[in-house]
Structure 1
Amino acid sequence: MSGGAGPSKKPKTYHFHTEWEEDFSFTMSYSKCVCLICKSTIAIPKKGNVERHFRTIHKSYNTDFPPKSELRRRKVKELKSQLSGHQAFFSQLTTKAKTTTEASFRVSHVLVKNKKSFQDGEMIKEAFVEAAESLFQDFKNKPEMVSSIKALQLSRSTVTCRCEAMAEDVTQKLWRDIADCECFSLQLDESTDVSDTAQLCIFIRMVFTDMIAKEELLTVLPMKEHTRGEDIFQSFKNFIKKTQLPVWKLVSITMDGAPAMIGRSNGFIAKCREDDAFPDFLNYHCIIHQQALCAKMLNMKEIMDVAMKIGCSIRGRSLQRRLFCVDLEKADCDHTELLLHTDVRWLSRGKFLQRFRELCPEIKEFLLASRHAEYTQLNEDQWLLDLAFLTDLTNMLNDLNVELQGKDKTVVNMISSVNVFKRKMQHLGSKLQRHDLANFQNLVSELERQGKACAQLDSGRYTVQIENLLSDFNKRFQDFALLEPVATFMCYPFRENADVDLLASEIATVFHLNSSGVEDEILTLQADIELKSRAHGQFWNLLTEEKYPNMRKCATSLTALFSSTYLCESAFSHMKIIKSKYRSTMTDHLEVCFSSYCPDYASLADSIQCKSSA
């Protein structure tokens, strides 16, 4: 007796024959053998099964419709047409429900993108129905179109479910990209929402094999207790364990300059470096925060203090504000309001000073008429000249700040913008010494009002301010200055006068590479004729991993670097709109709001039971 089992018997396959339609009134529909007379189905399309059903259930059919007759053929054709009609009817209902559900996902996505309350879905539906009554008035199928709109599911709970499904869909796409990317960088910042819960916002910048970079919101972690460096680190560490984030791909972390982030012993960065799971990574203080801190170093406190005190005495009191606005309207001024300044908002100082200076005559008249405390500075020529100079300089700093903001800004762009500003400041300092005020429009205007020539200006008073500003810029941007030679080389690596030894040493130091290996690859790269011919295009993705492993790592790492926390600051601004005092417990779904991924509406509609609204 054999110990092994015998060969398994191959299952027999049965095929439907078309002649059974006329002989036994059966047909194949959606892979099922269906009786045309009673709509019953047979599990196995076998002749014996089909014939048995026909002769047992429909005994009188052959008498009423004789076989092989024209009457029999017409009857079979009629029955097939009826079956198709029934199936089309139910299919149409299913298709309509699916399209309605897909439309519901699309409208919900628009609501989230525009930071609207989920209950606004009902308002959109109502507005849509009202508009349809007029828009489709001359359409023949107007009732069907209005009926389709009314079938939209847009209740608050439905929109919430739709947003949760879309958030899960875009999150899955994000994690697929994280798994496929070569490396990534992170930017982190923490802020408190309207419910006094600290929210740790984390954005990720991924770089793929083709050197394409993509910036996405990674997560927002609520921190309900302390926000010390160890607390932030532990919260992030728990997120890594939960999601299996491939930390070994991490290149750099960018954050603000808070002690909880950059503390030498207990800061978040220090804790990350102590953890063996983290690789050797770079860390940067947000370049926009540093620029804003440099702007605060201007030694003109006496100007800002007086201007702020006057502005708050007018703008901060309801009655004074109303009276001042009425005076401006009567005087037919270009502006009808005085602005307020806050240190939190980076651009407010320049705008405040510009508006204050433009309305200075009206302010003096209003203060005199309303018997406010006297401000003798408003009548001092030197104070007004200082105000004009500070206004011009803060406007230049504002222009730099705006240039540094935005999504998809590379570290090369940021370094270039800061270097251009420093060069301009050096140039303007030398022009000031020559009493050339072409770039200081407010200062020229004030000199003209006082009836003074440009040569009478004490230019040394202001060149000192510019020199101090430049000195602070050089001090604060040292970490980016170390990266500048590497960025310059990566933008154009074929400069013949490049110091290969020094360059290889700098690249190896920044990205923790082998100096001799980097040196060999630089020499090989600079002698590569084919790559040199494509130097003005995107050629870093042409470098193979086998031939240029260090250069590829350098290129991908540099592309992945975040140089600011602009995305986090922008997310907090959006969060402030979404979670207001009127809806503080609302789920914000920032994943959908900030994601560049488009949800797969069709697959989402297929994944749930589609129903139309009542």
Structure 2
Amino acid sequence: MESWLKRSSNSFENTEGQVAKAKPEPEKFRLYLEDYVLIGFTSTSCNPPKALCFFCGEKLANSSMKPAHLQHHLKTKHGCHVDNPPDLFKRKLSEFRSSQDTMRKDSTTSAKALEASYAVSLLVAKAKKPFTIAEDLLLPAAVVLAETMLDKNAAEKLKTVPLSNDSVCRRVDTMGTDIVEQVVGKLSDSFSLQLDESTDVSGNAQLVAFLRYVDTDDIYEHILFCKSLKGKTTGEDIFDVVNAAFCENDLRWKSCSSICTDAAASMTGSAKGLIAHIKKENPDVMWTHCVIHREALASKKMSPVLHDILNSSIKVINVIKSRPLNARLFRRLCENMGAEHTQLLLHTEDTDWLAKLCYLADIFSKLNKLNMSLQGKDTSILNLYDKVGGFLKKAELWRRACAQEDFTCFPQLDDFLSSEDVDRAPVKLVIVGHLTKLIQDFHSYFPDMEEKSAQLDWVRNPFLLSKANRSKLPVTYQEKLLEVSSDRGLQMKFAMFTLTQFWVCVKQEHPDLGQKALEQLLPFASTYLCEASFAAMTVIKTKQRNRMSH
């Protein structure tokens, strides 16, 4: 009976016959007593507390928080303070706490200075300014402002912010690396790539790559790298650089669903081009020819008559602009004539030549407007094809109107013809011929535009899709589209969200249909981001500042 009671104190039998152990008692630890101050000790704030000597800063374990142990420490390491009056111990404790507060304050100041250093470095990088500007201008200006508007103490604190050229360079590199790591970490099984190559002011070939990927709420795009091509710029050389970047970031070519480039031989060569090398790694990768490049190529050709007029006007402009004296005299001439503009307005008795020049000015203005509309971030093949298609419809309208000698669609030409006695027939033939060739060239560079646009109407707006267009899709997708088009909640989101945000939202409820739509929206339609990077590079890398670290 006694042995049974002894066993039951440690365990008990549950209803199923299993033995459950008793809960262990909570661990005990020693408490700090205020009298320990007279032995030279305070305590830490951790749990369990530790004894902290305020003479030397040494910490003793909680188990050592006994008067005998503390007395031993005082006698062996601080014997000069044994038997000192209580006031001395209290004063030493007060000094110790004061020094701790100072250290804590200094640590906080250093952390804030580091944070400020990163923030200023980011501003310098975004402004495309030399890194030396932070130390040479920004910091002195901030010190002057603080001393004038606040006080000298605030100015002294600002001086602790590290903003040297090397510090800013390190901050920018660190932030750039961290951002790329975050982007790579968000990549799913499919992403698209945008690539382009250009030569900088130093004569070095620079290769820029951007990624586009689907995140939790939208499609995002971000730079992957900007690297120099050390030797040639062949397709193989470009592939080696891109492949090295993929390996460095643990990216797989199988996940690269599409790539957008220009049509240079180094990119599209059937045997040695970049795309050919990529297809060896991923045969399913889709290549997109940059829409902006195609628009520029389609707009480039013109009839010999218009080409001669353009060349003549360029020669006149070069003569005027090549010498400052000519430019000043030309300005004075225009001012004396009461002209609206004072630069590069041409005056000649050849009215036929001027009429055609007016047309060139008008049509180039319209082409420039189209080109500008194709630029920008977050574009897809859908909206760029819409803009090109709209331009072609307007070009057809212009051709029909000009064939009837109605030139109101070209304002400068119309004003000139209204004020001058010009034979309109030859001008009409040249303009109609040029517009006809322009339309043909656009159709040549965008052969699949109308067909592909029609096929993707369900992506543009699943709520206005005609039955005929819906029937072109597999039955499984038709079923899902009918569900989506009948969902009033999704219809409200379609009005509130961007197209990409909407389909990411649809993917959560209808994975297959949402994924199919995102596959059409994910590819880059142009190399605008690369071109914008090269434009920024011309600002950053000048003749006086031709290294990336300055």
Whether TM-score is above 0.5 comes out as yes
Identify the residue that residue 102 of structure 2 maps to in structure 1: 89
Task: Tell me how far apart the structure 2 counterparts of residues 88 and 333 of structure 1 sit (CA, whole Å).
Answer: 75
Q: Judge which range, 474-483 or 23-32, deviates more.
A: 23-32
> Would you say the 8 A contact 2:142–2:158 is kept in 1?
yes
Residue 148 of structure 1 pairs with residue 154 of structure 2 = no
Task: Tell me how far apart the structure 2 counterparts of residues 499 and 576 of structure 1 sit (CA, whole Å).
Answer: 47
Identify the residue that residue 349 of structure 1 maps to in structure 2: none
Residues 40 and 53 of structure 1: is their aligned pair in 2 closer, same or farther, counting only changes over 3 Å?
farther
Q: CA deviation at 1:78?
A: 6.0
Task: Tell me how far apart the structure 1 counterparts of residues 90 and 383 of structure 2 sit (CA, whole Å).
Answer: 72
Residue 203 of structure 1 pairs with residue 210 of structure 2 = yes
Identity %: 27
> Would you say the 8 A contact 1:185–1:252 is kept in 2?
yes
Identify the residue that residue 449 of structure 1 maps to in structure 2: 419
CA shift digits 1:129-153 (9 cap, x unpaired): 333443x1xx4xx011111222222
CA shift digits 1:365-392 (9 cap, x unpaired): xxxxxxxxxxxxx322211111111111
Residues 133 and 24 of structure 1: is their aligned pair in 2 closer, same or farther, counting only changes over 3 Å?
closer
SS at match of 1:534: helix
Q: CA deviation at 1:158?
A: 1.8
Identify the residue that residue 177 of structure 2 maps to in structure 1: 168
Task: Tell me how far apart the structure 1 counterparts of residues 301 and 382 of structure 2 sit (CA, whole Å).
Answer: 25
TM-score by length of structure 2 reads 0.84
> Would you say the 8 A contact 2:269–2:276 is kept in 1?
yes
SS at match of 1:89: helix
Identify the residue that residue 477 of structure 2 maps to in structure 1: 521
Identify the residue that residue 53 of structure 1 maps to in structure 2: 70
Q: CA deviation at 1:578?
A: 1.4
Pick 1 or 2: higher relative contact order, CA cutoff 8 A, min separation 6.
1
Aligned residue runs from structure 1 range 12-161, under 5 A: 14-19=29-34, 21=36, 26-31=41-46, 33-35=50-52, 38-46=55-63, 49-54=66-71, 57=74, 81-123=94-136, 124-134=138-148, 136=149, 139=150, 142-161=151-170
> Would you say the 8 A contact 1:42–1:49 is kept in 2?
no
Residue 405 of structure 1 pairs with residue 372 of structure 2 = no
SS at match of 1:535: helix
SS at match of 2:369: helix
Identify the residue that residue 475 of structure 1 maps to in structure 2: 444
Q: CA deviation at 1:336?
A: 4.5
Task: Tell me how far apart the structure 1 counterparts of residues 350 and 54 of structure 2 sit (CA, whole Å).
Answer: 104
Task: Tell me how far apart the structure 1 counterparts of residues 80 and 429 of structure 2 sit (CA, whole Å).
Answer: 116
Identify the residue that residue 228 of structure 2 maps to in structure 1: 222
Q: CA deviation at 1:261?
A: 0.9
TM-score by length of structure 1 reads 0.75
Match of 1:580 among 512, 521, 542: 542
> Would you say the 8 A contact 2:195–2:209 is kept in 1?
yes
Residues 258 and 250 of structure 1: is their aligned pair in 2 closer, same or farther, counting only changes over 3 Å?
same
> Would you say the 8 A contact 1:129–1:146 is kept in 2?
yes
Q: Judge which range, 125-134 or 530-539, deviates more.
A: 530-539
Q: CA deviation at 1:430?
A: 2.4
SS at match of 1:152: coil
Letter in 1 for 2:392: K
Q: CA deviation at 1:279?
A: 4.9
Aligned residue runs from structure 1 range 555-594, under 5 A: 555-587=517-549
Aligned residue runs from structure 1 range 199-598, under 5 A: 199-210=206-217, 212-273=218-279, 275=280, 277-299=281-303, 300-328=306-334, 334-338=340-344, 359-361=345-347, 378-451=348-421, 459-494=428-463, 495-500=465-470, 503-504=472-473, 518-527=474-483, 530-531=486-487, 534-535=490-491, 537-538=493-494, 539-543=502-506, 548-549=511-512, 551-587=513-549
Identify the residue that residue 190 of structure 1 maps to in structure 2: 197
Letter in 2 for 1:304: L
Letter in 2 for 1:26: F
Task: Tell me how far apart the structure 1 counterparts of residues 478 and 28 of structure 2 sit (CA, whole Å).
Answer: 66
Q: CA deviation at 1:542?
A: 4.4
Q: CA deviation at 1:104?
A: 1.5
> Would you say the 8 A contact 1:183–1:208 is kept in 2?
no
Task: Tell me how far apart the structure 2 counterparts of residues 48 and 29 of structure 1 sit (CA, whole Å).
Answer: 12
Gaps in structure 2 of 5+ consecutive residues = 1-23, 495-501
Residues 467 and 150 of structure 1: is their aligned pair in 2 closer, same or farther, counting only changes over 3 Å?
same
> Would you say the 8 A contact 2:36–2:67 is kept in 1?
no
> Would you say the 8 A contact 1:26–1:50 is kept in 2?
no
> Would you say the 8 A contact 1:111–1:117 is kept in 2?
yes
Letter in 2 for 1:531: D
Letter in 2 for 1:489: W
> Would you say the 8 A contact 1:194–1:579 is kept in 2?
yes
> Would you say the 8 A contact 1:194–1:580 is kept in 2?
yes
SS at match of 1:552: helix
| Number of residue pairs aligned between Structure 1 and Structure 2 | 511
Task: Tell me how far apart the structure 1 counterparts of residues 33 and 401 of structure 2 sit (CA, whole Å).
Answer: 96
> Would you say the 8 A contact 2:195–2:207 is kept in 1?
yes
Q: CA deviation at 1:487?
A: 2.6
> Would you say the 8 A contact 2:201–2:538 is kept in 1?
yes
Letter in 1 for 2:197: E
Gaps in structure 1 of 5+ consecutive residues = 1-8, 66-71, 339-358, 362-377, 505-517, 589-614
Task: Tell me how far apart the structure 1 counterparts of residues 154 and 55 of structure 2 sit (CA, whole Å).
Answer: 36
Task: Tell me how far apart the structure 2 counterparts of residues 332 and 79 of structure 1 sit (CA, whole Å).
Answer: 89
> Would you say the 8 A contact 1:406–1:566 is kept in 2?
yes
Q: CA deviation at 1:457?
A: 8.0
Q: CA deviation at 1:482?
A: 4.4
Q: CA deviation at 1:172?
A: 1.9
Task: Tell me how far apart the structure 1 counterparts of residues 264 and 272 of structure 2 sit (CA, whole Å).
Answer: 12
Letter in 1 for 2:99: H
Q: Judge which range, 260-269 or 523-532, deviates more.
A: 523-532
Letter in 2 for 1:44: A
Task: Tell me how far apart the structure 1 counterparts of residues 89 and 451 of structure 2 sit (CA, whole Å).
Answer: 85
> Would you say the 8 A contact 1:198–1:224 is kept in 2?
yes
> Would you say the 8 A contact 1:42–1:50 is kept in 2?
no
> Would you say the 8 A contact 1:186–1:202 is kept in 2?
yes
Letter in 2 for 1:425: A
CA shift digits 1:494-543 (9 cap, x unpaired): 42423445x33xxxxxxxxxxxxx43222333245653652353443344
Identify the residue that residue 18 of structure 2 maps to in structure 1: none
Residues 165 and 544 of structure 1: is their aligned pair in 2 closer, same or farther, counting only changes over 3 Å?
closer
Cα-Cα RMSD:
3.1
Q: CA deviation at 1:30?
A: 4.8
Task: Tell me how far apart the structure 2 counterparts of residues 63 and 229 of structure 1 sit (CA, whole Å).
Answer: 85
Letter in 2 for 1:578: I
